[in-house]
Amino acid sequence: MIQRTVLSLVMTLLMTAAAMAQPRVEVAVDDLTHPWGMALLPEGDLLVTERPGRLLQLNPDTGERRVIGNSPAVVARGQGGLLDIALHPQFEDNRWVYLTWAGACESGSATHLGRGKLGDGELTDFETLLVAEPCVSSGRHFGSRLVFDRDGHLYMTTGDRGQRDRSQDPHDLNGAVLRLHDDGSIPADNPFADGAAGHPAIYSFGHRNPQGATLHPVTGAVWIHEHGPRGGDEINLPASGENFGWPLMTHGREYHGPEIGPDTLPGMVDPIHHWTPSIAPSGMLFYTGDAFPHWQGHLLVGALVQTHLARLELDGTTVVTEDRLLEDRGRRIRAVEQGPDGAILLLTDHADGELLRLTPRDH
């Protein structure tokens, strides 16, 4: 009898702890159309991209929204459209907003990068900084995450556009991580800056479709993740001039079953973590807030296919534990951001998409 009572108490405590580990979820804004990227403005509003082509300014407290004019024309086909957004590190002084999008070009479409100054309800002085050529007719794998490092370099990810061998061509701007100055010019210390062995904008290559990018809060290193095929989603640390292997090596398989390549090869960089089977990762954030103090330093990753928020505890670059949050909601989590109060903000990629706010249950 005593043993049953003790067992019952232990089970109750475990269930309570599991429940407390799940944050409170609030729908802050709804009726969004396939939202893709977001950036937090200094005054607390959010800029949110919608894949069909709208750029919105949202108040996450009131739900008030307005369309920002003069955003670029997009090719909203397949996985393409208006994609990521980032603010210049000195945004409060210069008002520069950076966007990526699938844009038309002579032989189809390509991932574009541009910037404009946020004025009163519109972007001004908008300019295209880079087109990830060559252009193709594919509607897949645009990549397209943006992150500034601590030195002010802008990193941009590009996908292989569904044409995998392009990732192994260092002269092709697709299937790569690009590194630029804030005006789109090429840093002199880029690995292929002279153009002889690769395109000057390329920092690393051999990537499939990276849709997450963030800075490590301690080291300042750029971390990315990328979609594998059937398995083999990866977390990688881009390194100057390095080849990350796709499609010559991968933990994933062809969608129809056969192996694509070995898990590792000499001279290529292994991922620090992989998901097999795939979760389809999108959005990425190191949590540093006070609202969830036990999560500080943990990596948060959205999942599209597995429809959850992954929380990864790390020891250096080694994943120690991984939890799955919000599985019961069945929502494709596209982007992850941290609010000024430490709340976690998520975008769900649906025709009836939402901005979700996560706070602790004891709040």
pLDDT (tens digit per residue) in 162-203: 999 999 999 999 999 999 999 999 999 999 999 999 999 999
The upper half-sphere exposure of residue 132, i.e. CA atoms within 13 Å in the direction of its Cβ, equals: 33
Asked: is 133-359 a CATH 2.60.40.420 domain? The reply is no
Is the pTM here over 0.75, yes or no? yes
- Which one, of 311, 305, 307, lies nearest residue 344 by Cα? 311
Residue 141 falls in the annotated catalytic set:
yes
To the nearest 10°, report the CA torsion of 123, 128, 132, 136: 80
Name the percent of the chain lying above pLDDT 90.
Answer: 93
Cβ(77)–Cβ(102) below 8 Å? yes
Residue 65, token pair as written in the block: 């929204």
The residue annotated as part of the active site, out of 34, 141, 199, 225, is 141
pLDDT of 311 above 80: yes
Question: How sure is the predictor about 320, in pLDDT bands with cuts at 50, 70 and 90?
Answer: very high
Question: How sure is the predictor about 21, in pLDDT bands with cuts at 50, 70 and 90?
Answer: low
pLDDT of 2 above 90: no
Name the percent of the chain lying above pLDDT 70.
Answer: 94
Question: How sure is the predictor about 4, in pLDDT bands with cuts at 50, 70 and 90?
Answer: low
User: Mean pLDDT across the stretch 319-335?
Assistant: 97
pLDDT of 18 above 50: no
Q: Bridge partners of 358?
A: 25, 344
Instruction: Count CB neighbours of 55 within 10 A.
Output: 25
